[in-house]
Amino acid sequence: MSLLFLSNGHGEDLNSSLIIQALQQQRPDLTIAAMPLVGEGDAYRRLGVEVIGPTQALPSGGMVYTHPLNWVRDLLGGLVGLTYRQLAALRRYRPTADLVIAVGDIVPIVFAHLMHRPYAAFLVSTSSYYEGQLRLPWLTRYCLNHPRCVTVFTRDRFSCEDLHRQGMAKAQFAGYPIMDALQLSQRNLDLDPRQRMVAILPGSRVPEALRNLSLQLQVCEAVARLEPMQFRAALVGAITADQLRTMAAAAGWDYGPDGRLSKSLGSQLVVVQGYWGAFADIIHHCDIALGMAGTAVEQAVGLGKPVVQMAGQGPQFTYRFAEAQMRLLGDSVTTIGRPYGKIGAQDIEEIATTLVAKVQDQGYRQRCLANGLERVGEPGGSRGIATGLSHYFPSPRA
């Protein structure tokens, strides 16, 4: 039995890789391959899953809708040629695939449909929480209603119920896999129990994440003037120590060993300690998060943490993305910024004031716990979707 996963983005790759791990545990006899349509597919490569076609990191990182120019940047960056080569790779692989799993939005779903094989879809990129009702593009709806589409997984129960009301009986909710990717490393974060801790989430795409972190350092300064707090930054491996040192110098901060960023405010020393490979530990132990990320913010909300977001320049984390994420994740998230506007000194002060007020509101933090369970859910989604998929392929041979 051969499965092929199609996905189009960092979060989509992560969800796919988690489902694959669950499938491998349940059915070690399966042959599993993948085709990441955006980016290099690192999540698959780390698992040793075969990537069957060409990959390329495009300027938008798959976030073409966050700014009108992103389409142009991707076209100039080789989108047309990449798409043609990927379609050719899928045609070559078509006789091998018993079931195709499309994870993402219209792009992987259409690619799966064009393979003329049975396929399943996981609508990880959309939710009824955005507008109160799923308004799927006609092409997406056509593909999902096609007889070759055997089932449609949703990222939340609300979306599944909505699709049922719209007549799509094949829709099902089996959980959201990203909450399965939060294994603690037991890293010592050197926390002072007398102070609240703020998780700094700058995102995973470089150089955007460095620009985001530079803005977040300004907020840390403003917060420190209001209330002494601890700041722990979750850094991805693509951010190097040299890049941090350069960014810190440009922002007027000092860079110390092992990801330590610091700045003197008179007699007060503000420290933002960065950690590589300790994301789960940081969001588990934080009291609130300052976010400029996609999946990481969703995971923080799922753990019941309040999140204050600030709009950046993208290509991913623009005001449009942040505002949509706020609608998706509900009351746990507060966004400050303006469409196509740069964050200014007044915004920095507003973000800091909002963050301090949110973290001091015990009633609000309790509501975030309930909201996180509703909007994101508990661990177990990977296993749930893997079990759901198993109904659509034959039993292993004796």
Do residues 255 and 113 both lie within one domain?
no
Residue 336 one-letter amino acid: I
Say which residue, 219 or 398, is predicted with more confidence. 219
Starting at the edge strand found earlier in the chain, the sheet holding 197-201 runs 254-255, 260-265, 268-276, 230-235, 197-201, 288-291, 307-310, 333-336
Do residues 158 and 25 both lie within one domain?
yes
Do residues 371 and 383 both lie within one domain?
no
CA angle 13, 259, 288 (to 5 degrees): 65
Asked if the structure places residue 396 within a domain, the reply is no
Asked if the structure places residue 287 within a domain, the reply is yes
Do residues 173 and 310 both lie within one domain?
no
Do residues 153 and 271 both lie within one domain?
no
Instruction: Give percent of the chain above pLDDT 90.
Output: 77
The residue among 69, 120, 37 whose CA lies nearest residue 385 is 120
Q: What is the pLDDT of residue 215?
A: 95
Q: What is the pLDDT of residue 110?
A: 95
Own/partner pairs for 225-229, CB < 8 Å, 24+ apart? Answer: 225/265, 225/352, 226/352, 226/353, 226/356, 227/196, 227/356, 228/195, 228/268, 229/195, 229/196, 229/197, 229/198
Do residues 146 and 43 both lie within one domain?
yes
Do residues 386 and 351 both lie within one domain?
no
Do residues 76 and 205 both lie within one domain?
no
Asked if the structure places residue 151 within a domain, the reply is yes
- The predicted model scores a pTM of 0.91
DSSP structure class, residue 101: E
Asked if the structure places residue 25 within a domain, the reply is yes
Do residues 46 and 29 both lie within one domain?
yes
Q: What is the pLDDT of residue 342?
A: 82
> 370-395: per-residue pLDDT in tens?
999 999 999 999 999 999 999 998 66
Do residues 177 and 205 both lie within one domain?
no
Q: Which domain holds residue 41?
A: 2-181+379-390
> 225-272: per-residue pLDDT in tens?
999 999 999 999 889 999 999 999 999 999 998 899 999 988 899 999
Q: What is the pLDDT of residue 77?
A: 58
Query: Cis (ω within 30 of 0) for the bond into 28?
Result: no
Do residues 231 and 348 both lie within one domain?
yes
Tell me the HSE value of 295 on the side-chain side, using a 13 A CA sphere: 23
Domain of residue 147, CATH code: 3.40.50.2000
> 287-300: per-residue pLDDT in tens?
999 999 999 999 99
Do residues 217 and 158 both lie within one domain?
no
Mean pLDDT for the stretch of residues 93-99: 93
Q: How confident is the model at residue 204 (pLDDT cuts 50, 70, 90)?
A: confident
Q: How many domains, the chain?
A: 2
